[in-house]
Amino acid sequence: MWQSLGVDSVKVAFGHRLWWVDAFIGEAERGNPAVVVLLERSLPDEELQQIAFELGVSETAFVRRVGDQWSLRWFTPTVEVDLCGHATLATLHVLLTELGVPGGEFYFQTRAGILSGRRLPDGLLGVDLPRSSIEQVDPSVLNDTLGPVREVYRAGTQSMLAVVEDFDTLCGLAVDPMSLFLVPSSMVIAACLGGPGVDVSIRVFAPRLGLAEDHVTGSAMCAVSPWWVERAGSPTVSVHQASSRGGVMYARLFELNVEVAGVARTFFAGDLRA
């Protein structure tokens, strides 16, 4: 047809493939969206950041095959981050479900070290994230940004875990992102005991990473799991994230890592023209 229009040929060029994946979904929860981009070739960091900005989800994961492992990087719309749980789960889902990559164990080269993932029973996927050490600190470190809290813990070098009174208090938090930006932490996790059929409920705020409030945060389990073990003595915990979309996570604590498990689904797929 194009010949009749005087066009010699039609160029069809496909770029990097991408999948929009909702991670940590539940029966009534929509989970956290991540876009997984399969890179056919390496791209400059500024191009990766621009792509993440254009896609506009909380995290864009860029994955590329490197020998027997996979290189994995995560970008918010504004910065590259050291660790992202839901985008790692989304990447594992793409490799297993969309690409049909064989193998029982997957290994990802990341800024947080080598992370691993696998298929679990009952439709769950599991990824191993580095366990955080927690240390109780004075609640004044939060500058009253969450209102009255029962206890506050520093979790690793970049997170704070604040325990509030109950589920109603958690859901009623009205947090000013600018005030929270002054708290010396990249991520502030508000947590309480209980919730809709779970052991613990949380909300997560990360204005320093360009996220006023995250929908579902797998990396928060790196702090929540050690705290739960100290509180309840159990290495396993079920968690509901009480965000506008909602999500469900399951975690199991080991000596050096936390296995974070959940369900993911593909919302749409396409090609990135970059």
Q: What are 60-71's pLDDT values in tens digits?
A: 999 999 988 999
Could you tell me what percentage of the chain is helix, strand and coil, using 3-state DSSP and rounding each to the nearest 5? 25, 40, 35
Please tell me which residue in 29, 54, 59, 259 is annotated as part of the active site: 59
In the residue annotation, 255 being an active-site residue is answered as no
Report the relative pairing of strands 32-38 and 59-66 from DSSP bridges.
parallel
Q: Are 52 and 60 in contact (CB under 8 A)?
A: yes
* Closest C-alpha among 190, 193, 160 to residue 173: 190
Give the pLDDT confidence of 128-148 residue by residue, as tens digits: 999 999 999 999 999 999 999
Ranges for all domains in the chain classified under CATH 3.10.310.10: 17-128+261-272, 134-260
For residue 210, is pLDDT > 90?
A: no
CATH of domain 134-260: 3.10.310.10
* pLDDT range class, residue 6, cuts 50, 70, 90: very low
Output the CA–CA distances (angstroms, integers) from residue 201 to 133, 166, 211, 233, in the order listed. 20, 9, 19, 17
Q: What is the pTM of this model?
A: 0.91
Separation between Cα atoms, residue 173 and residue 189, nearest integer Å: 12
CATH architecture of 17-128+261-272: Roll (3.10)
Phi-psi region of 71 (alpha: psi -120 to 50; beta: other; left: phi over 0): beta
Confidence (pLDDT) at 109: 97
Strands of 26-163 (E only): list them. Answer: 32-38, 59-66, 69-75, 80-81, 106-110, 113-119, 125-130, 134-137, 151-155, 159-163
What's the confidence (pLDDT) of residue 274? Answer: 62
